[in-house]
Amino acid sequence: MARIGLFDIVGPIMVGPSSSHTAGAVRLGLAARKILGSEVQKAKIELHGSFSATYWGHRTDVALIAGLLGMPMDDERIPQALDLAQEAGLEYSFASADLGDVHPNSVRIQAEGPSGTVTVCGSSIGGGRINIFEINGFEVSVDGTYSVLLTRHRDTPGVISEVTKVLAIHGINIAFLDVSRKTRGSDALLVAETDDPIPELAVEHVQRIPQVIVVRTLPCF
């Protein structure tokens, strides 16, 4: 039987009104910002299902922008996120979209900043919990329970062993490891969920692997 924690019952510490439509949305926006790896200058946000139908009443739009601005879900500035986005020069748009057979509280975020562009699809699954199910067209499953190392790399022999070797050298235990690719020999996405925080020195070492193109980390959030 799965254990149920206290926060699964009473909900997270957050700025409301809804753990699903507000707190989870903040986390999804924040995750997209961290995967981008820089401040967000432009964002195209496509809302699916219940998110699309009820976002205004639950202020899902405000919550997503708050996350893209870097706010955690208990930040007291969340209600002012749209004004703060205007002050920061963040350009954004909202639209409805059918993302397929996914959770009704789902969103696709295309975020652009100094570090480039990233597209992140994720769901708010209740109680402030989320699941990121796609990054730049690669299928993933990331829920924020663990620290995460993400690498986009050339699909060549030895890259995965080199990345895991770096983590082992730094004493970082891998809880789950998944690698996705679209075609053989193309770019691939490695997702390593770890029991330990990933220090910047380990990130720098991974970045020096010749076939690695981009490295990002997500802390537990």
For the stretch 152-187, pLDDT in tens is 999 999 999 999 999 999 999 999 999 998 888 789
104 and 197 part of one domain? no
> 41, 113 in Cβ contact below 8 A?
yes
194 and 98 part of one domain? no
Q: What is the pLDDT of residue 104?
A: 93
- When pLDDT is cut at 50, 70 and 90, the band that residue 128 belongs to is confident
Burial classification of residue 5, based on how many CB atoms lie within 10 Å of its CB (0-12 exposed, 13-18 middle, 19 or more buried): exposed
> Of 124, 142, 160, at which residue does a domain stop?
142
> Of 142, 172, 197, at which residue does a domain stop?
142
What CATH number did the domain enclosing 133 receive? 3.30.1330.90
131 and 45 part of one domain? yes
Q: Residue 153's domain spans which residues?
A: 147-218
Q: What is the dihedral of CA 16, 128, 191, 64, to 10 degrees?
A: -20
92 and 49 part of one domain? yes
Name the domain count of the chain. Answer: 2
Q: What is the pLDDT of residue 54?
A: 80
For the stretch 11-25, pLDDT in tens is 444 444 455 558 899
Helix (H) / strand (E) containing 177? strand 174-181
208 and 180 part of one domain? yes
> Of 80, 113, 142, at which residue does a domain stop?
142
- In the predicted structure, residue 8 carries a pLDDT above the cut 60: no
> 164, 215 in Cβ contact below 8 A?
no
